[in-house]
Amino acid sequence: MAGEISRNERQLNLISALLKARDGIDWQRISTIAGYDDGLSRRSLQKRLERDIKELQEVGLLVTATTGEEGTRTYAIDRGRCLLPALRLTPEQRVLLYRVGVSYLDEGGAGPLTEHLSRALVKLQAGSGIDALPDELPPGILRRSLHRRPAEARHLDVIGLALLERRRIRFNYGSRRREESRRQVAPYALVTRRGGWYLIAYDPERKGERTFKLSRIRGKVSFAPDSRVGEYEIPAGFDAERSFSSDIFGAGAGAFCEVQVRFDADVAFIIENEFSGLHRIEPAAGGGVVLHLERAYPFELMRYLGEFAGHWEIIAPKALREQTLNWVHTALGRLA
Amino acid sequence: MSEVARLVSLASFLASHPRISLGEAARATHRTPQELLKDMNALMMVGVHPYTPSDYIGYATSGPGENGLITLYSADHFKRPPNFTPQEALALKYALEHYAQAADGPTRRQIDELAAALAESLHGQAARELSRRERGFILPRRTERMREMIGRLARAGEERRVVELEYFSAHRGTLSRRRVHPYRIVESGSHFYLLALCELAGATRHFRVDRIRHAQMLDEVFTEAVPVRSKAGRMEPAMRGRQFETLMVEFSREAGPDVLEEYGQLPDVEVTAKANGRVVLKLPLFNETWAVGFVMSFGEHATILRPQSARDALKRTLEQALKAHQA
């Protein structure tokens, strides 16, 4: 009886019946499916069916209803539109999909992507035929993680989901000037750069894109009250890299221009690892390198340089070099 | 509803992989073997009138434990999985993009081909989402050298080969050579780390991949079991790991309000505003190198009050900076 049938089981039974029937199923058939056979009024059961059909769309199964000449409604799944086509993937591509799954999903490293990504990968493995997996699977060596600090991870989950579902969100945001404002925005991208996550979003009230640092969000992030799935599209040509400042050491007021830092031979390779192709790097005497930055905010730069005790020297501009040396003297005085 | 979505995908997977082992099916469907068995039991209940045995989904396993082979009965109608939802297409697109950022040349080409094949095969909004060019998750770009290094270390781990590293230790501020047994590559925050047994230390260590100058794969093979995840040791970057002290930092009146705003709500962090406008931050200390960088990032507006070891580390760093500028 219906009291013993869970919603999951009822919906699985319905999917099973729909997938088995070539020409769809009518109400008479539906009323024999466990979960629809509990003797409630036709009207109540019909409402239950409509709710279930709506929820099946979330699985990717679109159920269509057609009314015949005698007024009989028939429900069917359009296999052509709703089922995954046969995928012809090479063995290497199947291994790649497996690797992606293991690297993100074993320890929940995919963060806000986890649930949807897991289902997508399982569907792909299922859809690529009976030889979908090779005889011997490679060990999962790589582990990826989209998460960072606990406080950010909490926001990241909601914003990530909103980004996947294209739904607006709202939150309170504290600016650098310590002013708090209520924001309701459409997320376009999540960006991580040195030490933090940033949200790029369209703010309708301010009629433009804005960047928000997740650690400056106050309280909780929630979906906008009237938001719905797929309510906006990200404009074609949107480029998050361009939208987000590429000045990784900051570019605001107080930033120095045309900064040059020399690194010695011991750490030159680390600078090349991080900045080669992004910023100009020139060879220096003794096997070192000089890193050129268009702009840098002094203390964002210091935070990085702190990792290379004694292996760096600020060459230009002169004012930054002097400011740094003055500060070093003051700081050493305090620590004496 | 996600529960039904998970179960339908699983039914498709098992129906199209007859006689797959429990262990492999669990790994491929991102579940533990126990979770897989539970989900298979949930699928066993599925059936429709007239309830003959062939109308119910059933399963059998043959063989012991995770090597046991699974056979799913009466589930052929689930063989073709449902098409992707737009969210699934986007999640896959974002994950492949992210994966490509650390992949070497051949793997990147493979990812591009896979994404193109999928966009061509799928239909509706899912295909449109996969074909779109804008990116949702943007992470630091990796240089070609880093991609090659990550690929080489991953291969060494898969082949269980001992590797000789030349590594820059931020803690010591020097380059050194050591032999390691590579176990895993972990991306956390903005960095990649190699989890490996260091023969010199006789224990596992995390080596930041961008600080590895050379990695030479040796012919020697290591034979010990790779530690299971729970025993593999935790990352000890900035704000996680084993706390060994409490860091106390004092900020100037100018920096104080920003610190209050930025750190005031974090768990395990205590921020106190003093009458003179200065602010004192107390937080767990996991890593002194991080602490030095953190305090330096505030310049003249911050100083370490305790512990003495962190004050000494900051002093050493500043003295070395001074020396480098006077040379």
- Domains of chain A, by residue range, sit at 2-82, 84-146, 162-243, 256-335
Please indicate whether, in this complex, the C-beta atoms of A276 and B143 are within 8 angstroms of each other: yes
> Looking at CA atoms only, how far is residue A45 from chain B in angstroms?
17
Tell me what pLDDT residue A199 has: 92
Instruction: Give dist(CA A193, CA A191) in Å, integer.
Output: 7
Task: Look at residues A303, A307, A260, A305 and name the one whose alpha carbon lies nearest to residue A284.
Answer: A260
Cβ distance B24 to A133 less than 8 Å, yes or no, reads yes
Q: What is the distance between the alpha carbons of residues B242 and B285, in angstroms, rounded to a whole number?
A: 8
Candidates 3.40.50.170, 3.40.50.720, 3.40.50.300, 1.10.10.10; CATH matching A2-82: 1.10.10.10
Q: Is A229 helix (H, G, I), strand (E, B) or coil?
A: coil
Query: Is A127's CB within 8 Å of B87's CB?
Result: no
Q: Which of B114, B238, B321 sits opposite A310 (nearest CB)?
A: B321
How many angstroms separate the CA of residue B224 from the nearest CA in chain A?
A: 15
Q: Is residue B74 part of a domain?
A: yes
Per-residue b/e over A199-222, b at no fewer than 16 CB within 10 Å?
bbbbeeeeeebbebbbbbbeeebe
Q: What is the dihedral of CA A147, A150, A156, A161, to 10 degrees?
A: 90
**Cβ contact (<8 Å) for A9 and B45?**
yes
B121 lies in some domain: yes
Q: What is the pLDDT of residues B229-258, one digit of tens each?
A: 644 444 434 334 445 688 999 998 877 877
pLDDT digits (tens, 9 = 90+) for A153-206: 778 889 988 998 899 999 999 765 567 889 999 999 988 876 678 899 999 998
Q: Determine, for residues A328 and B322 on separate chains, whether the beta-carbon distance falls below 8 Å.
A: yes
Contact A96, A102 (CB under 8 A): no
Both B154 and B227 in one domain: the answer is yes
Secondary structure letter of residue A206 according to DSSP: T
- The tens digit of pLDDT for each residue in A45-61 reads 889 999 999 888 777 78
Mean pLDDT of chain A: 84
What count of other Cβ atoms lies within 10 Å of the Cβ of residue A108?
A: 12
Does the pLDDT of residue B50 top 60, yes or no?
yes
| Choice among A11-15, B77-81, B228-232 with the minimum mean pLDDT | B228-232
> For strand B58-62 and strand A180-193, is the pairing parallel, antiparallel, or unpaired?
unpaired
Verify whether the Cβ–Cβ distance A106 to B314 is below 8 Å.
Answer: no
Nearest to B85 among A32, A58, A149 (CB): A58
Both tokens assigned to A28: 């008479």
Average pLDDT over residues A124-144: 71
Of the listed ranges A72-81, B16-25, B117-126, the least confidently predicted one is B117-126
In a domain, B260, yes or no: yes
Please give the CATH topology (third level) of the domain spanning A162-243: SH3 type barrels. (2.30.30)
Option in A189, A216, A335 nearest B315 (CB): A335
Task: Find the CATH number of the domain harbouring B179.
Answer: 2.30.30
Span A256-335 CATH architecture: 2-Layer Sandwich (3.30)
Please list every residue in chain A whose beta carbon sits closer than 8 Å to the beta carbon of residue B210.
Answer: 270, 273-274
- Range A1-24 average pLDDT: 82
Cβ A159 vs Cβ A190: under 8 Å? yes
- How many angstroms separate the CA atoms of A6 and A264, rounded? 67
- B225 and B278 belong to one structural domain: no
pLDDT number for residue B39: 93
Please tell me which of the candidates B45, B135, B316 has its beta carbon nearest to residue A189: B135
Q: Residues B18, B53: one domain? A: yes
Answer yes or no: is B239 within a domain: no
User: Given pLDDT bands bounded at 50, 70 and 90, which one contains residue A257?
Assistant: very high
How far is A2 from A34, CA to CA, in rounded Å?
7
Report pLDDT for B101. Answer: 82
Mean per-residue pLDDT for A203-226? 89
Percent of chain A at pLDDT exceeding 70: 89
Q: Give the pairing type, strands B191-198 and A180-193.
A: unpaired
CB contact under 8 A, A13 and B46: yes
Residue of A19, A147, A200, A289 to mutate, interface with B, max B Cβ within 10 Å: A19
Specify the pLDDT at position B227: 79
Residue B237 belongs to a domain: no
Mean pLDDT of B95-104: 86
CB B199 within 8 A of CB B190: no
Query: Can you tell me the distance from the alpha carbon of B258 to that of B263, in angstroms, rounded to the nearest whole number?
Result: 8
Q: Confirm whether B297 is domain-assigned.
A: yes
Res. B203: pLDDT tops 50: yes
Q: Which has more confidence, A319 or A8?
A: A319
Of A83-97, A162-176, A274-288, B154-168, the range with the lowest mean pLDDT is A83-97
Distance from CA of A12 to the nearest CA of B (A): 6
Query: Cβ contacts of residue B203 below 8 Å, gap of 6+?
Result: B197
SS3 label, residue B270: strand
Contact B185 A234 (CB under 8 A): no
Q: Into how many domains does chain B fold?
A: 4
- Which of the residue ranges A127-136, A301-310, B148-157, B293-302 has the most confident prediction, judged by mean pLDDT? B148-157
A270–B211 CB contact, under 8 Å: yes
d(CA A100, CA B115): 13
- CB nearest A310 (choices: B45, B168, B320): B320
> What value of ipTM does the predicted structure carry?
0.79
Per-residue pLDDT at B165: 96
Closest C-alpha among A39, A43, A34, A38 to residue A10? A34
Q: Residue B155 domain-assigned?
A: yes
* A2-82 and A162-243, same CATH topology: no
How far apart (Å, rounded) are the C-alpha atoms in residues B75 and A255?
64
Tell me the CATH number at B255. 3.30.70
What values do phi and psi take at A262, rounded to 5?
-95, 135
Yes or no, beta carbons of A142 and B185 under 8 Å apart: yes
Contact B90 A328 (CB under 8 A): no
Tokens of A336: 């004496």
Residues of B in contact with A321 (CB under 8 A): 325
* Other Cβ atoms closer than 10 A to B304: 26
Residue numbers in A near B98 (CB within 8 A):
144, 146
- Choose the closest CB to A82 out of B20, B83, B95: B83
Distance between CA atoms of residues A320 and B117, nearest Å: 52
Of A286, A249, A251, which Cα lies nearest the Cα of A265? A286
* Angle CA A319–A321–A327, to nearest 5: 100
Average pLDDT over residues B135-162: 87
Candidates B4, B144, B168: best to mutate against A (most CBs of A within 10 A) is B4
Mean pLDDT for chain B? 83
Between the CA of residue B25 and those of B22, B59, B69, what are the distances in Å?
5, 14, 9
Residues of chain A neighbouring B96 (CB-CB closer than 8 A): 100
**Cα four-point dihedral sign B311, B312, B317, B319:** positive
Cross-chain residue pair B229–A93, CB shorter than 8 Å? no
Query: CB B95 to CB A145 under 8 A?
Result: no
Q: How many CB pairs under 8 A join A and B?
A: 396
Nearest C-alpha in B relative to A304? B293
Beta-carbon separation of A19 and B77 below 8 A: yes
* Residues of chain B contacting residue A58, judged by C-beta atoms under 8 Å apart: 1-2, 5, 85
Q: Do A335 and B318 touch (CB under 8 A)?
A: yes
**A303, B134: Cβ pair inside 8 Å?**
no
Residue B181 resides in a domain: yes
Domain of B200, in residue numbers: 144-231
pLDDT at A266 over 70: yes
Residue of A nearest to B5 (CA): A59
In 3D, which of B125, B94, B7 has the Cα closest to residue A229?
B125
